[in-house]
């Protein structure tokens, strides 16, 4: 007879790709994860994974079994959550991915009251600037800043996010302040590599306009982009949630070239086809209330 914990563990192994990562996510020992997988395979009379020292991969039987196993595990989890919600409680694991800088500066302070209010929710927050695959990574949802590019995600908008070109007063005194998009060609830029290399995108009446810059620094982290701008290395296009305080103090100045960068948003996105749980909806409502729109960092 199949055991639900073995089935759920197999689904987690398929998502994580290794016994050790599965054990970390489920907060179990590696031996327990391995034993559950072995018992499930024995019950089915089939090998579900190819075992190697580097990474586990699914066999043909494992691939065939995974689709239904995932659906069953999800339905059981949702049924348990529904029963808890009927009693007025939000319980169980909630796994979220978010960008590093935004998570450190704004997400943490927003979710601490949420965790205190719902002590039976087990929140796991992974901070990563990469565009993680929400479904394959085993996340209930991802918090993101920018355009929505993944059609497999269903997004809930939390707030609008304004980006501005900024530079230090020292850099502008040395290099001059550009007043038009064409003036940017002669300036050095600090660019976010997760968005493409060496360009700024602006919205115009005829669609998007791309301006190529001369890279001073290419980096995949907003904190370092801000620090590089403060150090006078060049011009950076950054969201107000990172540079709002520096603009207020005068450490950075807004560079107005007559057009606005493309509009972006802060949003929560969950995998398409997966019914969002009540605790995920409560999490999104918590963030929406905490950030407001216009956001507090814009004020």
Q: Where are the domains of the chain?
A: 4-85, 90-161+265-291, 163-262
pLDDT one-digit tens code per residue, 117-141: 999 898 999 998 887 777 767 788 9
Task: Per-residue pLDDT tens, the chain, 299 aa: give them.
Answer: 678 888 889 888 888 888 888 888 888 898 999 898 999 888 888 898 887 766 788 888 888 888 888 888 877 777 776 676 666 678 888 889 999 999 999 999 999 999 999 998 989 999 988 877 777 677 889 999 887 665 667 889 999 899 999 999 999 999 999 998 888 888 999 999 876 666 788 886 677 788 877 889 999 899 999 999 999 999 999 999 999 999 999 999 999 998 888 888 999 998 876 678 888 999 999 999 999 988 998 87
Q: What's residue 2's pLDDT?
A: 75
Residue 133 contacts by C-beta under 8 Å, 6 or more apart in sequence?
none
Residue 166 contacts by C-beta under 8 Å, 6 or more apart in sequence?
229, 235, 236, 237, 238, 243, 246, 247, 252, 253, 254, 255
CATH 2.70.70.10, domain 4-85, yes or no: no
Element (H, E) at 215: strand 214-219
Q: Crossing angle for the helix pair 4-16 and 60-86, nearest 10 degrees? A: 120
Q: What's residue 54's pLDDT?
A: 67
Q: Crossing angle for the helix pair 278-291 and 60-86, nearest 10 degrees? A: 70
pLDDT one-digit tens code per residue, 224-262: 999 999 999 999 999 999 999 999 999 999 999 988 888
φ and ψ of 239, to 5 deg: -70, 155
Two tokens, residue 123: 């929140």
Whether the domain at 90-161+265-291 and the domain at 163-262 fall into the same CATH topology? yes
| pTM, to two decimals | 0.71
- Structural class in CATH, domain 163-262: alpha beta
Strand pairing partners for 264? 161
Q: What's residue 112's pLDDT?
A: 93
Q: Which CATH superfamily is domain 90-161+265-291 in?
A: Periplasmic binding protein-like II (3.40.190.10)
Number of neighbours of residue 6 by Cβ within 10 angstroms: 21
């Amino acid at each position: 007879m199949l055991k639900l914990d073995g089935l759920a563990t197999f689904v987690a192994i398929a998502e994580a790709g290794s016994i050790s990562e599965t054990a970390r996510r489920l907060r179990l020992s590696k031996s327990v994860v391995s034993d559950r997988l072995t018992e499930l395979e024995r019950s089915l009379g089939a090998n579900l994974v190819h075992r190697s020292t580097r990474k586990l991969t699914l066999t043909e039987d494992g691939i065939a079994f995974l689709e239904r196993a995932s659906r069953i595990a999800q339905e059981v989890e949702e049924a348990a959550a529904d029963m808890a919600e009927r009693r007025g409680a939000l319980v169980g694991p909630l796994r979220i991915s978010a960008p590093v800088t935004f998570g450190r500066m704004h997400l943490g302070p927003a979710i601490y009251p949420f965790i205190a209010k719902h002590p039976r929710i087990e929140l796991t927050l992974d901070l990563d600037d990469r565009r993680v695959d929400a479904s394959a990574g085993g996340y209930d949802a991802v918090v993101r800043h920018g355009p929505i590019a993944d059609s497999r995600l269903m997004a809930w908008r939390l707030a609008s996010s304004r980006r501005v070109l900024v530079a230090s007063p020292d850099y502008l005194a040395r290099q001059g302040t550009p007043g038009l998009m064409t003036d940017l060609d002669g300036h050095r830029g600090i660019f976010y590599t997760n968005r493409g290399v060496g360009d700024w995108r602006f919205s115009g009446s005829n669609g998007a306009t791309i301006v190529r810059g001369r890279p001073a620094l290419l980096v995949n982290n907003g904190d370092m982009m801000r620090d590089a701008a403060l150090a006078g290395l060049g011009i950076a296009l950054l969201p107000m949630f990172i540079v709002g305080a520096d603009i207020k103090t005068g450490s950075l100045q807004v560079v107005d070239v007559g057009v606005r960068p493309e509009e972006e948003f802060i949003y929560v996105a969950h995998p398409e086809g997966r019914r969002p749980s009540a605790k995920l909806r409560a999490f999104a409502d918590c963030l929406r209330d905490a950030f407001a729109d216009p956001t507090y960092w814009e004020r």
